[in-house]
């Protein structure tokens, strides 16, 4: 055994053993614990790290000969326990290595990490990994432009965990299970999956008797969640994740990770100590003026101090690791506005961490997506820093929902949302794809439930329905919840088609929620973070039950991808693109859009660079409206109906279009959307 090296951080396999290195500024003594197995109640060896020999600057390190990949380990750190000064060192707690590439949680008990005393028998353990032995073959990033991207937010576990998934029991809810469903994603037309958190998370961070299902409770930033692996050993999880990425790439589907760098599962006062809290609480977390209290801009009990240089480096190292070693194609940053806060919690312009990510050469070409708000009220949609970040557009979600439920005063905002939200994205650096357009996501109602429930029904979460948002802009179409009324069911199906049509035909980058294409329901639960059961899982029987909606969604995606949302290769800003597109706005009368508070209708004509034109008519009124049709561009054939969401399937989407007998007027039925195209455009030629 020798003193080892402070670099690289984490556990690194050498030719003769393993080098360990961990950062702690205020620690006075450290111990490295080696475990024989996942089931071992106590370490078989404890190695003391002394400041005089095993500490360089603030890095604690040691090289242990004879060790190899698969070794389980942890740390104990000694230092001041003075909460009023921000210090919470606890030498009885076994701590995870923040840079561990694999973790074992087989014996982990959150309660043991939260109460006083030795938790070695019930701790999570880090695992030494050798990343050099995996064969990526010829895998490389796909680099789809945003202009031809269709995002699909998917939960790795919930996608195949249902018994009717057709996946073998041992692979349900795993990375391997997802591989088996790639043909489904490919057939639907998805170009990128946005995976809900796959960093190792604390599934026990939930109310008693429930389980943290979503995964927004990270325990580390480098290790894939072992609960999504069908392999027996923790290192098998690494290979299974990489197999999934490789298989998705072969199918032409990019992999975007939903990453959580705003907080950890250690919570606030009373929360467990299993990593950063025990390594250097005062530096890693934002603390209030009373340093015994945590600042909470994440809504989870703590907030990471991304203004601290060591944590900024860790975030950058994590992102580079997932790109270089795990081959992912990009990231969606949960509550990204938190990353703009300084050590006092104040928002700052040009936050260093965001520019470091934006300008990192390893991350060049990878997709960066921000949820540009936080739980502290900071809302940065349209003003997020950097040149490359796209943004989840919450205004798109809310404004389209309100229009479709026929709220007053919604047309003026809908007009902006249809064309990329130029009222929000005004910078020259904002391209047409800046807005991530979505109506539903994991957080809130599914699309089916948006038109089936007026209020949330979260009783199963154990909080007396207090949790979850109350302002959902939803409408049950006349009956709360499931119904046998055929007319209400037809209306709900139409509203779902309306929502999908707006999402997939608007300028921006569309995102769909897993299962919306087959009316997945959570029975009114709009905060199913703790429901790891059939309430949240993808019910594969719906694929056949709602085959008509699946077909409609699939054809919409084909239509979307048949023409670029913006000229490829151009660097036009959104406003420059809109000037070139020369979109003409109408209402029921030509060139006279009604933007008054009592209006519920809008129409637009757009000429295609490839020739031909589209004419879109939206009627959220509860009565039919006759829309005047514009003259066709020179050289184009007659108007043909492509989409009419009022029509029953398969007439709701006619692949080749149907020539209109009346070329001057189209009667749009109540609460429906119609898309016409000029003959010969060839947008749906197959």
Catalytic residue among 202, 266, 307, 371: 371
Q: 535 to each of 375, 443, 453, 460, how far by Cα in Å?
A: 26, 14, 15, 10
Q: 432 to each of 8, 303, 595, how far by Cα in Å?
A: 41, 33, 23
Catalytic residue among 258, 334, 391, 644: 334
Tell whether the torsion through CA atoms of 155, 161, 165 and 169 is positive or negative: positive
Q: Which of 12, 225, 277 is nearest to 104 (CA)?
A: 225
Proportion of the chain in helix, strand, coil states, percent, rounded to 5: 25, 20, 50
Q: Residue 648: CB partners within 8 Å, gap ≥ 6? A: 490
DSSP letter string, 612-652: -EEEEEEE-SSS-EEEEPPPPPTT---EEEEEETTSPTTTT
| Coil vs helix vs strand at 79 | coil
Q: Which of 511, 500, 518 is nearest to 164 (CA)?
A: 518
Whether 517 is catalytic: no
Cβ count within 10 A of residue 522: 24
Which residues is 18 bridged to in the sheet? 13, 64
Whether 208 is catalytic: no
Looking at the chain, how many residues does it have?
686
Cα separation, 210 vs 529, in Å, equals 10
The reply to whether omega before 336 is within 30° of 0 (cis) is no
Which residues is 81 bridged to in the sheet? 88
**Which H or E run contains 59?**
strand 59-65
Cβ count within 10 A of residue 121: 13
**Residues tagged active-site:** 334, 371
């Amino acid at each position: 055994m020798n003193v080892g090296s402070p670099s690289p951080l984490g556990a690194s396999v050498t030719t003769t053993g393993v080098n360990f290195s961990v950062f702690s500024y205020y620690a006075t003594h450290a111990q490295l614990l080696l475990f024989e197995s996942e089931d071992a109640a106590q370490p078989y060896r404890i190695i003391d790290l002394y400041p005089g020999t095993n500490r360089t600057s603030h890095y604690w390190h040691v090289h242990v000969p004879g060790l190899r990949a698969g070794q389980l380990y942890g740390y104990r750190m000694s230092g001041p326990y003075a909460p009023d000064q921000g210090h919470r060192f606890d030498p009885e707690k076994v701590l995870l290595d923040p840079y561990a590439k694999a973790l074992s949680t087989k014996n982990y008990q959150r309660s043991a990490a939260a109460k006083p005393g030795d938790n070695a028998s019930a701790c999570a353990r880090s695992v030494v990994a050798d990343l050099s032995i995996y064969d990526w073959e010829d895998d490389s990033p796909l680099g789809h432009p945003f202009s031809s991207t269709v995002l699909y937010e998917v939960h790795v576990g919930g996608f195949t965990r249902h018994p009717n998934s057709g996946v073998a029991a041992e692979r349900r809810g795993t990375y391997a299970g997802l591989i088996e469903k790639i043909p489904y994603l490919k057939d639907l037309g998805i170009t990128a999956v946005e995976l809900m958190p796959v960093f190792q998370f604390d599934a026990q961070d939930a109310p008693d008797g429930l389980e943290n299902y979503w995964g927004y409770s990270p325990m580390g930033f480098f290790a894939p969640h072992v609960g999504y692996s069908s392999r027996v050993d923790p290192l098998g999880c690494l290979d299974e994740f990489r197999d999934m990425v490789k298989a998705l790439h072969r199918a032409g589907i990019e992999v975007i990770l939903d990453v959580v760098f705003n907080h950890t599962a250690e919570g606030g006062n009373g929360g467990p100590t299993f990593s950063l809290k025990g390594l250097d609480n005062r530096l890693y977390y934002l603390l209030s003026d009373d340093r015994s209290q945590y600042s909470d801009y994440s809504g989870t009990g703590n907030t990471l101090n991304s203004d601290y240089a060591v944590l900024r480096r860790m975030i950058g190292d994590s992102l580079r690791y997932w790109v270089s070693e795990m081959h992912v194609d990009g990231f969606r940053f949960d509550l990204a506005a938190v990353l703009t806060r300084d050590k006092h919690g104040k928002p700052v312009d040009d936050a260093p961490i965001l520019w470091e990510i934006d300008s990192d050469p390893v991350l060049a070409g990878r997709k960066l997506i921000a949820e540009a708000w936080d739980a502290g009220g900071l809302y940065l949609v349209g003003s997020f820093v950097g040149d490359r970040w796209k943004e989840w557009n919450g205004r798109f979600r809310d404004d389209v929902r309100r229009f479709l439920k026929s709220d007053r005063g919604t047309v003026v905002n809908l007009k902006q949302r249809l064309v990329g939200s130029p009222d929000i994205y005004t910078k020259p650096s904002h391209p047409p794809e800046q807005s991530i357009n979505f109506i539903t996501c994991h957080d809130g109602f599914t699309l089916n439930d948006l038109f089936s429930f007026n209020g949330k029904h979260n009783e199963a979460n154990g909080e007396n329905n207090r949790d979850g948002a109350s302002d959902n802009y939803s409408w049950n179409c006349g009956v709360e919840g499931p119904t046998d009324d055929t007319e209400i069911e037809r209306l709900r199906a139409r509203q779902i088609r309306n929502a999908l049509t707006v999402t997939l035909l608007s300028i921006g980058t569309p995102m769909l929620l897993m299962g919306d294409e087959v009316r997945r329901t959570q029975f009114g639960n709009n905060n199913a973070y703790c429901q790891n059961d059939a309430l949240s899982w993808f019910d594969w029987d719906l694929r056949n039950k709602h085959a008509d909606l699946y077909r409609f969604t699939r054809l919409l995606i084909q239509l979307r991808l048949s023409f670029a949302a913006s000229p490829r290769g151009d660097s036009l800003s959104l406003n420059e693109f809109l000037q070139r597109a020369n979109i003409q706005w109408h209402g029921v009368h030509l060139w006279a859009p009604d933007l008054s508070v009592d209006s519920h209708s809008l129409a637009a004509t757009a000429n295609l660079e490839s020739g031909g034109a589209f004419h879109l008519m939206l009627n959220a009124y509860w009565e039919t409206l006759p829309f005047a049709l514009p003259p066709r561009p020179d050289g184009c054939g007659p108007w043909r109906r492509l989409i009419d969401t009022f029509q029953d399937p398969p007439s709701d989407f006619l692949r080749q279009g149907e020539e209109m007998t009346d070329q001057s007027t189209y009667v749009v039925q109540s609460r429906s959307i119609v898309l016409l195209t000029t003959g010969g455009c060839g947008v749906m030629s197959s």
